[in-house]
Amino acid sequence: MLYLGVDIGTQGAKAVVFDLKAKRVVARGAKQYGLLTGRPGLAEQDPKDWISGGRSAIQDAVSGLQDEERERICAIGVSGQQHGLVVLDENKEVVRPAKLWCDTESSREAEELGEALGWKLGPAFTGTKVMWLKRNEPENWQRVRHVLMPKDYFNYWLTGEIATEASDQSGSAFFDPVNKTWDERALEFIGLPAAYLPKLVAPIEKVGTIREAVAEALRLPASVVVSPGGGDNACSALAAGAVADGTMVMSLGTSGTLFGYSSKPVLDKTGMICPFCDATGAYLPLVCTLNCTEVPEDVRAMIDEKVTREELTKLASEVPAGCSGVSYIPYLRGERTPNLPGAAGAIVGLRYGMLKNAGLLYRAAIEGVTFSLLAGVNAMKNFGVSDLKELRVVGGGAANALWCQIIASSFGVPVKLIEESETAALGAALQAGAVHGGEGDIARFVSEHGPPTGGTIQPESKDARLYGEAYERHLAVGGRLFG
């Protein structure tokens, strides 16, 4: 049996075909699309671009399959960028472009909603965008009858059914992640009628089967089942095998994220830890830093853009752990974790001649980013999250073996590499497989049928003390500089 996973991302759509027996991706496709911008804080997309992009990605993926193989595709799962606001009218037509997670025009509304609910909320959360729409475009709001997330709109195109699930809605600010139902107090403050919201389904329930017109357009069997899908991080956790307490995923991209399975909810009213649900029926506490792979890249640009990452990594590997007392505070774009939007970057502890040491500066940047994420996992422990036993590392930074070694030794746990780069799409395909197979336990299905991980990097005990001291220094310096 083959399962199709689609990721409706911010930059484009990705699709993978997963072979259950072989436990590997056998085909893939992609299609890029752009953002609608034009004024500070604006970041929107036309939901129709997701449909055309997702359709092209799927067609690209299945084009290399034989007719017999296409007939073996049994189910589709869809992952999507979280928080986006999709509004439809009474005819289920798009009212206006979708405001995305990275749209910050609802910053004032985020403060108002957060104060009313007793939570620290950012403008990413969907409820703040609903408030912005009501306040700034009342004529559009009058037309609204359905409020969806991006992947739910794609599922609607696939099946004609409007439904949603907990992992995506836990990023809305009007969903109760503990009881996994709508938060009536939040809905009342926002002024969002519950009748405008999709029906809630469990991760193991199907949304429906694909419409006949969709099956013909995609050259797929008319019997293909569509699973609920999930938020992109929740689906990535499935692909990485983070389906039990003690296993977390670290994504090293433009931003850094750390998230993982938790059998209990995490409710952090400071907003540092996002109270997300996962795609198995459990929880997915998440921390996000604004500064990640761009930080060592900025060092490389300062030294010489012609110098390769490999060359700098080799130089950095010759520098001792802890960088001889140098701390790089990596808040180049301000920071979200910790919540210091007005902070800046800093290099502290320099001695004569150190500025000429390219390897030291490059390693200090990597260590600084790593320590920011380590602070996040330590914050999770304070909320009762199980002790970390293993990390799964994904994203562009995962290609740097030295960085992965620094992570393993700083966190004191083994680091496993994930070979598949499109983890969100793969996770959606795995969920689709569990739903199609009638599995009552998605976590068990993923553990038994998910793809094998790559190599494992063990922590180096000889460096534990140096990393411990460097981490404490990182916290102290950042605290003295920025509070």
User: Distance between CA 250 and CA 260 in Å, rounded?
Assistant: 9
Q: Which positions are catalytic?
A: 232
* Ramachandran area for residue 149 (φ above 0: left; ψ -120 to 50: alpha; else beta): beta
Rg (CA), the chain: 22
3-state SS record for the chain: CEEEEEEECCCEEEEEEEECCCCEEEEEEEEECCCECCCCCCCEECHHHHHHHHHHHHHHHHHCCCHHHHCCEEEEEEEECCCCEEEECCCCCECCCEECCCCCCCHHHHHHHHHHHCCCCCCCCHHHHHHHHHHHCHHHHCCCCEEECHHHHHHHHHHCCCEECHHHHCCCCCEECCCCEECHHHHHHHCCCHHHCCEECCCCCCCEECCHHHHHHHCCCCCCEECCCEEHHHHHHHHCCCCCCCEEEEEECCCEEEEECECCCCCCCCCCCEEEECCCCCEEEEEEECCCCHHHHHHHHHHCCCCCHHHHHHHHHCCCCCHHHCEEEECECEECCCCECCCCEEEECCCCCHHHCHHHHHHHHHHHHHHHHHHHHHHHHHCCCCCCCEEEEECHHHHCHHHHHHHHHHHCCCEEECCCCCHHHHHHHHHHHHHHCCCCCHHHHHHHHCCCCCCEECCCHHHHHHHHHHHHHHHHHHHHHHC
Tell me the Ramachandran region of residue 413: left when phi exceeds 0, alpha when psi lies from -120 to 50, beta otherwise. Answer: beta
Would you say 243 and 280 are in contact if contact means Cβ atoms under 8 Å apart?
A: yes
Nearest to 283 by CA among 442, 177, 376: 177
